[in-house]
Chain A
Amino acid sequence: MLPEKFESWFQSRRWHVRPHQLDLLEKAKLGKSALLIAPTGAGKTLAGFLPSLIELSSDCDRETAPPRGVHTLYISPLKALATDIKRNLEVPISEMKLPIRMETRTGDTPAHKRQRQKRQPPDILLTTPEQISLLLADKTSASLFRDLKTIVLDELHELVTSKRGDLLALGLARLRTIAPDLRCIGLSATVAEPDDLRAFLMPQGLDAETPNLADLVLAKTGVTPNISILETQQRLPWAGHSAHYALGEIYQEIRDHQTTLVFVNTRSQAEVLFQELWRINEDTLPIALHHGSLDVGQRRRVEEAMARGELKAVVCTSSLDLGIDWGDIDLVINVGAPKGASRLAQRIGRANHRMDEPSKAILVPANRFEVLECQAALAASTAGEQDTPPLRHGGLDVLAQHIMGMACAEPFDADELYAEVKTCHTFRTLTRELFDQALNFVATGGYALKVYDRFARLRQTKEGKYRVSHPKIAQGYRLNVGTIVADAMLKVRLVKPQSARRNKPLGRGGRMLGEVEEWFIDQLTHGDTFIFGGEVLRFEGLNENEAYVSRATSSDPMIPSYQGGKFPLSTYLAERVRTMLSHPDDWHKLPDQVAEWLELQKLKSKLPNKDRLLVETFPRNNKSYMVCYPFEGRLAHQTLGMLLTRRLDRAGLHPLGFVASDYALALWSLKDMGSAIETGRLDLNQLFDADMLGDDLDAWLSESSLMKRTFRTCAVIAGLIERRFPGQEKTGRQVTISSDLIYDVLRSHEPDHLLLKATWADAATGLLDISRLSAFLTRIQGRIDPILLQRVSPLAVPVLLEIGREPIYGETNEALLASAADDLALEAME
């Protein structure tokens, strides 16, 4: 099967060709696209490249042939991965003396090298989705890619679930137009719906019902991982996310293993855990910290030290969910709830990147609900079940960006481009009307009031093709390409502490510690302390786009920075948790403390039924509380809380606020909600009726800051407002403001605008999770179990404890301002 040169190379390394590697080779010979699903460590990358290496090596005329385009494209979500793969592939290429030129192209590639790559394309180009878009928007794209034979898409499961996947899909469609014979090889971890990915790799026809699927190649699964839930000797907390109780036990595990990755869900959790571990680190074990807002240089140093095997443990966030292989990790500890079965599987896969040894992982639940969640994840893992999110519907904002890119490359015909876009699986249901709306948007903003025609960014040629009206437009496109729109970030710089009197200007900045979200800094005033980069820092003030901080003398940060889990509980795990709760026979699997807690709930109140909604009411501190248990994740609960508050207010119950966790929602009011339910004044079926997603939602959305944030992202991607660049952060702060104003104006004057459609689609699945809320409301309709209690129930304790830790919603800005202004009046009268 293998050419002799390759056969002997494999032998020289004492390797055997794996069946899935041969399978992929076979598919390549037949010219077929394929999806390879394989666990980490199965030689996935080599499998993907083997067909290309063989084809290129047998091509003996290359030296004399005229220059030609790229033969194989490798696309990965991380540029670090592209660089790493290049290093790995250099081994077989140099050892077999293959006549192959291979280069990377990322944001870091110098301009002269990029230019050369266009003139003399390498045989294999390793790059990222954004670079593909940039290359395709270039006049040279047709000649660069006309000889393209193979595209290898790495970590495809990760790519397809975001807007980057939408952009990539559109890019693939264009590449297929340029090189109709090309094949795609997708490399993926196990997913819930492999067919989605198989369809993603293929051009789709007009029949949307039966998509064209790439062939599927399954590698032998690795050894079942060895996962356990930490059996603690300590008391399990009711609430919280720090897992402080288990600190000693985590430290012990780190000491007992070679190298440990400790995953947590948020940056601030990572900060806290890292600091706590060092506090008890009597052996001064080399333990490091890694998360997305640390300085890039610092992150690279941690990664390099890890690769050299110099670290005992790294406390990290999802920043290390993906990435290059480190062979020597023998333990993964996941602190807090896993939130999703597949996410957990991926993290566990970071340990022991060798197929023949089981990965070892320990789950450390931070509170009692998380024990249930960990148990559910464990069961899912044993059953080999997956809960990766479903494939997206292609975003209209991304489509707009792509249309502009295509116009930058060369004048296009609208009918042809529409047909090409429709071949993407994720855009297969796109109507011509929407496409035209996107095209109009790109050309003139797409407003019903057609006054911008003379400023059009796209104009039609005599032949009716669309071209950019000015070279500056293309320049602007190149600067704004991509779908990742970061939160506004501020740099954190260390300075000397300021004296109490702040007449002096802030001292010159010292060392840069990293970046922090602007909204976080917004809530601080001079003197507040918080944790960042593993240190307790004191906020000194803002200077342009930098937050000045000094080292704090105290070790207790004043501002709790935990902002909840980044990922909401997956629907799949939620269902498993609900099932577990309603089956007391299975509770023996749970720790005694947790089983007792649930027994107590059964005694004092009721257990939430799997298919119904339990609603408890009870008085506490002169207020009336209502706690319900949807188990639909924090985001959906927040939206529900906002909408219920509006309804309770209309019912005259004077709601004061609410707090949401991943499992439950608690609201409180001045008037007695319990008696209102009992007397029939408050009908729970009406309160929870799905029609709240109509007018109430609409009214709330007009003022929702989450919606405005979502809009800003869409507006940047679609090219309505410009992305920010380093050094321009100050204007960036103004951009945030004006995008809110644009949102208001658009909502009142053109509610059907393309960008509002895109924003709505995002909000439904993203920050507001409306799609999930909608499914929930339908599911529980007519299935609500109210219970009137005299005091808080055992199950309600955790969510009530979140009050004070989590943001509390309810009071409007107007009410807050009024009370702030009243304070002032009081002060004046003193």
Chain B
Amino acid sequence: MITARALNTKRMTVPVCHDLAIGNEIVGMHDSGALWWPDQSALIISDLHMEKGSSFARRGVMLPPYDTGETLERLAALVEVFRPRRIIALGDSFHDADGADRLPRSYRAMLSMIQLGREWVWISGNHDPVIPQSVGGDRCDELTMGTLTFRHEPTEGPITGEVCGHLHPVAKVRRLGRSIRRPCFATNGNRLIMPSFGALTGGLNVMDEAWKPVFEGKRFSVFMLGSGRLFPFTASKLIAD
């Protein structure tokens, strides 16, 4: 039943992406927070944090158990639209090491429906260093395709053609006395940090100290997620939390 719902809701007709040159490739940033690489027919999503709800529930904090369902529904809708040949999950796909084992049967079914007939790559993250065979797909710590390298955590220092997640970038702008805070892509042209795709994932403001080693000074831009479009800002226009 849940699978049927996933296919029927949030149907998108035309995939609209914001093109970005990185490494020697052109990739498209989608307003869902996913990255589309047409040359490789690859869809990249980062930080799904599946089973975050149940991870908290284990500790007695009964967050809703629907986050995985929500995340997979969104992903299923994207796959419908892009019909990618391969999907790359950029790490922290599960909120904790046991997350994959806790995956309820119905969600496991949704996941394998999405994986059916295409390549699926799990890149390991700090939350999910080991992903069990039961959830299908291939595993690796990092993946290089063409001039792009996909890994979960950004490496320190300058680098070209790196696509990562891990930091859950959000940006905040102020306008007419109101501030708006949204997840975003963050890039300096050499490195791209993707927003978290999971339903229950918070974010870290790109003005935070933790970003210092990632981008030098304020020489980077963000693309805030909107509905049907992205909103570009240079870092100098952003405010801290």
Scan A702-738; emit 1 where CB is below 8 A from any B CB, else 0: 0000000000000000001110000000000110011
Question: Which residues of chain B in 162-186 are interfacial with respect to chain A, using CB atoms and an 8 Å cutoff?
Answer: 173-180, 182
The docked-state distance in angstroms from the alpha carbon of A266 to that of B226 is: 36
Q: Which residues of A contact B177 (CB under 8 A)?
A: 523, 807
- On whether A814 and B233 interact (CB within 8 A), knowing A720-B61, A734-B202, A737-B203, the answer reads no
B residues in contact with A824, CB < 8 Å: 232-234, 237
Cβ contact of A742, chosen from B180, B200, B224, cutoff 8 A? B200
Contact at B175–A819, with CB atoms within 8 Å? Answer: yes
Structural contact, B240 and A542, CB atoms closer than 8 A: yes
Per the bound structure, the CA–CA distance linking A457 and B58 in Å amounts to: 10
Q: Are B54 and A820 in contact (CB under 8 A)?
A: no
- Cβ-based interface call for B70 (8 A): yes
Contact of B64 with A821 in the complex, beta carbons under 8 Å: no
- Known contacts A737-B202, A745-B199, A824-B237: A750-B66 contact under CB 8 Å: yes
Contact of B66 among A542, A734, A745 (CB under 8 A): A745
Residue-wise, chain A 425-456 has the 8 Å CB interface mask toward B (1 for contact) of 00000000000000001001111010110010
Please tell me if the beta carbons of B66 and A749 are within 8 angstroms of each other in the complex. yes
Q: Is the CB of A745 within 8 A of B202?
A: no
Q: Determine how close the nearest CB of chain B comes to the CB of A638; give it in whole angstroms.
A: 15
- Measured CB to CB, the closest approach of chain B to A755, in angstroms, equals 9
Tell me if B69 and A749 are in contact (CB < 8 A): yes
- A737→B239 CA distance, assembly (Å): 17
Check A749–B64 contact: CB distance below 8 A. yes
User: Are A811 and B63 touching (Cβ within 8 A)?
Assistant: no
Smallest CB–CB gap between B3 and chain A, Å? 15
Judge whether B38 is part of the interface by a CB distance below 8 angstroms.
no
Flag whether B231 is at the interface (Cβ < 8 A).
yes
| Known pairs A542-B240, A820-B173; A473 contacts B60 (CB<8 A) | yes
Contact between B226 and A817, CB atoms less than 8 A apart: yes
Residue of B nearest to A748 (CB): B70
Instruction: Tell me the bound Cα distance from A318 to B179 in angstroms.
Output: 29
Cα separation A457 to B60 with both chains bound (whole Å): 6
Among residues of A, the one whose C-beta sits closest to the C-beta of B199 is: A745
Partner of B62, one of A457, A744, A748: A457
The residue on B at minimum CB distance from A451 is: B65
Give chain B nearest CB distance to A741 CB in angstroms. Answer: 5
For B58, the closest partner residue in chain A by CB is A455
**Which one, A444, A445, A523, A746, contacts B178 given CB within 8 A?**
A523
Distance of A2 Cα from B185 Cα, bound (Å): 79
Question: Which parts of A732-774 form the interface with B (CB within 8 Å)?
Answer: 733-734, 737-738, 741-742, 744-746, 748-750, 753
A525, B67: Cβ atoms closer than 8 Å: no
Q: Who on chain A is nearest to B179 by CB?
A: A522
A247 / chain B contacts, CB cutoff of 8 Å: none
B182 closest partner in A (C-beta): A817
Would A449 and B66 count as touching, CB distance under 8 A?
A: yes
Known contacts A737-B202, A741-B202, A824-B234; decide if A816 and B60 are in contact (CB<8 Å): no
Instruction: Tell whether, in the assembled complex, residue A542 and residue B241 are in contact, meaning their CB atoms are under 8 Å apart.
Output: yes
Chain B residues whose C-beta falls within 8 Å of the C-beta of A525 in the assembled complex: 174, 239
User: Is B233 a contact of A745 with CB atoms below 8 Å?
Assistant: no
A496 interface contact, C-beta 8 A: no
B54 touches A452 (CB 8 A): yes
Expressed in whole angstroms, the Cα–Cα distance for A722 and B175 within the complex equals 32
Q: How far is the CA of A750 from the CA of B70 in the complex (A)?
A: 12
Q: Taking the nearest CB of chain A, how far is it from the CB of B217, in angstroms?
A: 11
Render B55-93 as a binary contact track against A, CB cut-off 8 A, 1 for contact. Answer: 001101111111101100000000000000000000000
On chain B, the residues within 8 Å of A473 by CB distance are 60
For the complex formed, measure the closest distance between the CB of B76 and the CB atoms of chain A, giving whole angstroms.
15
CB distance from B12 to the nearest CB of A (A): 17
Q: Is A813 located at the chain interface by the 8 A CB criterion? A: yes
Question: Can you name the residue of chain B whose Cβ is closest to the Cβ of A817?
Answer: B231
A542→B202 CA distance, assembly (Å):
20
Q: How far in angstroms is the closest Cβ of chain A from B173?
A: 5
- Is A775 on the interface with B (CB-CB < 8 A)? no
Q: Determine whether B227 belongs to the interface, using a CB cutoff of 8 Å to chain A.
A: yes
A735 to B65 Cα, complex, angstroms: 18
Query: In the complex, what residues of A have CB within 8 A of residue B15's CB?
Result: none
Are A811's CB and B176's CB within 8 A? yes
The chain B residue sitting closest to A447, CB to CB, is B65
Report how far A748 CA is from B226 CA in the complex, Å.
19
- Minimal beta-carbon separation of B105 from chain A (angstroms): 10
Interface string of A645-673 (1 = CB under 8 A from B): 00000000000000000000000000000
Using known A-B contacts A445-B64, A816-B175, determine if residue A738 contacts B54 with beta carbons closer than 8 Å: no
> In the complex, what's the smallest C-beta–C-beta distance from B172 to chain A, in angstroms?
9
**A810-830 near B? 1/0 per residue, CB < 8 Å:** 010110111111001000000
Q: Which of B62, B70, B224, B241 contacts A445 (CB 8 A)?
A: B62
In this assembly, does A29 line the interface, its C-beta being within 8 Å of a C-beta of chain B?
no
State how many angstroms separate the Cβ of B154 from the closest Cβ of chain A: 21
Point out the residues of chain A lying under 8 angstroms from B67, CB to CB. 745
Q: Is A470 an interface residue (CB 8 A)?
A: yes
- Asked if A472 lies at the interface with its beta carbon under 8 angstroms from chain B, I say yes
* B213 interface contact, C-beta 8 A: no
> A741-B199, A817-B180, A817-B224 given as contacts; is B62 within 8 A of A452 (CB)?
yes
User: A445-B57, A457-B62, A722-B61 given as contacts; is B70 within 8 A of A745 (CB)?
Assistant: yes
Q: Which residues of B contact A744 (CB under 8 A)?
A: 199
Residues on the B chain within 8 Å of A816, using CB? 175-176, 178, 180
* Inter-subunit contact B176/A821 (CB<8 Å): no
A199, B233: Cα distance in complex, Å: 60
Residues of A within 8 A of B233 (CB): 820-821, 824
Q: Find chain B residues with CB under 8 A from A470 CB.
A: 60
Query: In the complex, how many angstroms separate the beta carbon of B59 from the nearest chain A beta carbon?
Result: 8
> Within the assembled complex, what's the spacing in Å between the Cα atoms of A744 and B175?
24
Chain A residues 44-81 with CB under 8 Å of chain B are none
- Inter-chain contact A721/B61, CB cutoff 8 Å: yes
The distance from the CB of B71 to the nearest CB of chain A, in whole angstroms, is 10
Q: Which residues of B contact A745 (CB under 8 A)?
A: 64, 66-67, 70, 199-200
B63 CB contacts on chain A under 8 angstroms: 445, 720, 742
Is A449 touching B65 in the complex (CB atoms < 8 A)?
Answer: yes
Whether B62 and A444, one on each chain, are in contact in the complex, defined by CB atoms closer than 8 angstroms, is yes
Closest A residue to B198 by beta carbon equals A741
- Do residues B239 and A749 form an inter-chain contact, with CB atoms below 8 A? no
Known contacts A720-B63, A737-B202, A813-B180; A821/B58 CB under 8 A: no
Residues of chain A from 774 to 830 with CB closer than 8 A to chain B in the complex: 807-808, 811, 813-814, 816-821, 824
Are B60 and A476 in contact, CB atoms less than 8 angstroms apart?
yes
Bound together, the chains give a CA A750 to CA B237 distance in angstroms of: 38
A residues apposed to B, CB below 8 Å: 441, 444-447, 449, 451-452, 455, 457, 470, 472-473, 476, 522-523, 525, 542, 720-722, 733-734, 737-738, 741-742, 744-746, 748-750, 753, 807-808, 811, 813-814, 816-821, 824
Pairs A-B, 3 closest by C-beta atoms? A445-B62, A749-B66, A821-B231
A-B contact pairs, 5 of them (CB 8 A): A451-B104, A720-B62, A737-B203, A817-B226, A820-B175
Given contact pairs A720-B62, A813-B180, a sample of 10 additional A-B residue pairs in the complex whose CB atoms are under 8 Å apart: A445-B65, A447-B64, A447-B65, A449-B104, A542-B240, A720-B61, A745-B199, A749-B69, A814-B226, A817-B175
Q: Name B residues whose Cβ lies closer than 8 Å to a Cβ of A.
A: 54, 57-58, 60-67, 69-70, 104, 173-180, 182, 199-203, 224, 226-227, 231-234, 237, 239-241
